[in-house]
């Protein structure tokens, strides 16, 4: 079990509050460093498995980071996209419907503490995935830390 709270959300970044968006950017950059072999820790963190399963894990995490940066820009934030290792392109990473539902409930718990006004949007929203992900049938992903 990992002590880290590393969370690379499958949910669309527009569903995240400000704190969540900033955190997923920071954690995504850490994940990219891991996948580039620039860290000693986190190499076997379960949250990285979906990226490590791709033919080009660094391209996969880069596409993920571009999705976060696009949402930040839409909100008026300026994330340093020069930190993203690969140029923007289209990659579709599968994520299960069960994982999406699990994360929605997990995010609701966080929002009850941080930003209660966002909960109603999360309740009303369909389970939209991060732009780099496509939803497939299935339960909670085996790599999920519960």
Domain ranges of the chain: 13-136
State pLDDT tens for residues 16-70: 999 999 999 999 999 999 999 999 888 888 999 999 999 999 999 999 999 999 9
pLDDT value at 146 more than 90? no
- Rounded CA-CA distance 60/35 in Å is 10
Q: What is the pTM of this model?
A: 0.92
Sign of the alpha-carbon torsion through 105, 96, 127, 12: positive
The per-residue pLDDT for 44 is: 83
- Rounded CA-CA distance 85/58 in Å is 7
| DSSP β-bridge partners for residue 96 | 136
- Rounded CA-CA distance 143/45 in Å is 9
């Amino acid at each position: 079990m990992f002590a880290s709270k590393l969370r690379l959300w499958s949910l669309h970044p527009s569903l995240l509050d400000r704190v969540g968006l900033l955190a997923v950017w920071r954690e995504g950059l850490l994940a990219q460093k891991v996948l580039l072999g620039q860290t000693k820790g986190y190499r076997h963190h379960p949250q990285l498995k979906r990226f490590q399963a791709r033919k080009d894990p660094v391209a996969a995490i880069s596409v993920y980071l571009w999705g976060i940066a696009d949402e930040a820009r839409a909100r008026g934030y300026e994330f340093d996209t020069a930190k993203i290792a690969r140029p923007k392109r289209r990659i579709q990473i599968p994520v299960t419907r069960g994982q999406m539902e699990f994360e929605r409930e997990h995010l609701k718990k966080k929002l009850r503490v941080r930003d209660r006004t966002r909960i109603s949007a999360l309740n009303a929203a369909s389970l939209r995935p991060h732009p780099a992900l496509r939803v497939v049938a299935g339960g909670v992903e085996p790599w999920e830390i519960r």
